[in-house]
Amino acid sequence: MKSVETAKVISSRNITANIYDLVLECPKIASEAVPGQFVEVYTGRSDLLLARPISICEILGNRLRLVYQVVGKGTEIFSKLGLGDELRILGPCGNGYKLNKEKSALLVGGGIGIPPLLETAKQLGGKVTVVLAARTKDLLVLEDEFAKLGAKVYTATDDGSVGFKGNAVELLRQEDLKADVIYSCGPKIMLKFLTEYAIEKNMECQVSMEERMACGIGACVGCVVKIKNGDDWEHKKVCKDGPVFEGREVVWE
């Protein structure tokens, strides 16, 4: 059940480039959160009323860890938070991954879609294969943390500044990586080609969609995607019905 909670800042730091790591004390929301969900974070400014959706990176007891990229005024405000500051958050929002520890797992994250896969890897026991991709090395985060969990980690960058030169799906094809289930999050184009790869290799593929989620409760209808319904399709709300869907169900455009 979603709650609005006043969260206290436990730590806030810059990781790399314009990516920040924020830990919030929010007992109610943290106790109900699962991998793949997100929270809506309010700026507290009257001129910036809409909350900003941020994926949950880790669940740490009564705390949540959020790793996000500064992309506008709202996230810039969050980047200036300090120890003891407070802000309102709504969550946990959406439906997370359907985890199955009995099946082998391949985790694929692109850019700021990497952070929500860390808690996923933890809850799967760490013995997973992980592919992390970004445009350049400065946007590739959390590699060491996945490795510490026991995961086998592959990296890819568009410019070749670290790891494989190319995108995540090109790396998957080169290494012929397979598993029973793919858990993924990242740009829509990556998820589309990843789903095609999964179908080709006969793998289940859960995709976490990135759309503009202004309200987080399905009221504004600003984050709809097309989902197959028999021989037809219907609109589903990413913030309420997702953000995680089975890749085969999505009508990719």
DSSP helix, strand, coil percent of the chain (3-state; round to 5): 25, 40, 40
Neighbours of 77 (CB within 10 A): 18
How confident is the model at residue 139, as a pLDDT?
95
pLDDT for residue 213? 58
Q: Which pLDDT score is estimated for 245? A: 96
Residue 214 has pLDDT above 80, yes or no: no
What would the pLDDT profile of 168-191 be if each residue is shown by its tens digit? 999 999 999 999 999 999 999 999
In the predicted model, what is the mean pLDDT of residues 129-147? 97
Q: Assign residue 144 a region: left if phi > 0, alpha if psi is -120 to 50, beta otherwise? A: alpha
From residue 196, how far is each of 180, 235, 243, 252 by CA, in Å?
A: 15, 21, 19, 10
Domain range summary for the chain, segments of one domain joined by +: 3-93, 105-208
Q: Span 18-45, mean pLDDT?
A: 96
151/131 Cα distance (integer angstroms) = 10
CATH number for the segment(s) 105-208: 3.40.50.80
Task: Check whether 217 has a pLDDT greater than 80.
Answer: no
Cβ proximity of 13 and 57 under 8 Å: no
For the entire predicted model, the pTM comes to 0.95
Sign of CA dihedral 76, 77, 80, 86: negative
Which H/E stretch holds residue 123?
helix 116-123
Q: Taking residues 24-40, report their average pLDDT.
A: 97
Predicted confidence (pLDDT) at residue 59 exceeds the cutoff of 80: yes
**What's the pLDDT score for residue 34?**
98
How high is the pLDDT of residue 231? 86
Mean pLDDT of 192-200: 97
User: ∠212-217-219 over CA atoms, to 5°?
Assistant: 80
User: pLDDT tens for residues 92-119?
Assistant: 999 999 999 999 999 999 999 999 999 9
Residue 163's pLDDT band (cuts 50, 70, 90): very high
Mean local confidence (pLDDT), 58-86:
96
Using alpha carbons, select from 244, 242, 132, 253 the residue that is nearest to residue 192.
Answer: 253
Neighbours of 14 (CB within 10 A): 11
CATH architecture designation of domain 3-93 = Beta Barrel (2.40)
The average confidence (pLDDT) of the chain is 94
How far is Cα 150 from Cα 233, in angstroms, rounded to an integer? 40
